[in-house]
Amino acid sequence: MTFDVLCVKGLGEAGDETMFPGVDGGGKVNQELLDGDSAQQLVARAIAVRDVGGGKARTVVEVREVRAEVFITDARVILLCSKYDKGGGWVGSPGTALMLNAVSKLRAARRSRGTALVGHIRYPWLISVGFSPKQGWLDEEVLRLVVRDGTADPSRLLVVDLNLPKETDSGAVARAIMLRAVQYRTTHETLTDDELASFRQLAESPELARPQPKKFAVYAMPTSWQAKPATAYPRTV
């Protein structure tokens, strides 16, 4: 199974949580020790995951008109949508359509427990985090996370866009993620002196200026790891 950022899991379903979070019977994401106890929580109205390799974008997964919970922890950004199939839309590739069929069967088989659309981006995987502020009253704030899927051959560059409510400051959210990612990488990894200096310089950099309409201002991480099981947890060598 490739890393599409989002996947469907049954509530209380046991299994590996390296690439995708687990969800308990009450619909809450299973916490990890490195998540800490000071997660920032917000809401996304839509989530789109696109493969942007080869000079053109291909939609991997997209859910619209939903209320997805976003948790910014000390170790990762978690996405949780427990009602993605009610009043929302699902768009994707033929493979995603097959996945949706499987989802329907899964929901029928697990009515008592339900399912959730869930995913996470661990900070070692984060290539960059950007934001595009609203331009008018009807616009939404957009947060953009970029990762490289190392489970695919060849690897895939994935862009994850989160549409946030207009009252949410996407620039502040992007900076909060950048700062937590820097803290995680400099605390839990063995970095070279140059890498450490680059991360510290990023953390001390001023807030990014507001980008042009429909453009993104981006915090680029000095280094990152491809998203795969071997890079999910702290690397000390």
- 84-128: pLDDT as tens digits: 654 344 555 444 444 454 444 444 444 435 889 999 999 999 999
Quickly state the pLDDT bin for 37 (edges 50, 70, 90): very high
CA dist., res. 204 & res. 201, Å (int): 5
**Residue 115, domain member (yes or no):** yes
Judged by DSSP in three states, 161 sits in: strand
**Residue 234, domain member (yes or no):** no
Q: Does 152 have pLDDT greater than 80?
A: yes
Tell me the average pLDDT across 130-155: 92
Q: Does 210 have pLDDT greater than 90?
A: yes
Enclosing H/E stretch for 13? none
Closest CA relative to residue 46, chosen from 23, 77, 13, 79: 79
Q: Does 43 have pLDDT greater than 60?
A: yes
**Residue 233, domain member (yes or no):** no
Choice between 2 and 124, residue whose per-residue pLDDT is larger: 124
Listed range (76-85, 144-153, 203-212) with the worst mean pLDDT: 76-85
- Please tell me the total count of domains within the chain: 1
- 117-140: pLDDT as tens digits: 999 999 999 999 999 998 876 679
- Number of neighbouring beta carbons within 10 Å of residue 52: 13
**Residue 10, domain member (yes or no):** yes
Q: Which CATH number do you get for residue 182?
A: 2.30.29.30
Tell me the average pLDDT across 140-147: 97
Return the structure tokens found at 106.
């899964």
Instruction: State the residue range of the domain holding 11.
Output: 6-227
Judged by DSSP in three states, 21 sits in: coil
Res 106: pLDDT:
43
Tell me the average pLDDT across 7-26: 94
Q: Does 187 have pLDDT greater than 60?
A: yes
Q: What is the mean pLDDT of the chain?
A: 89
- 165-176: pLDDT as tens digits: 999 999 999 999
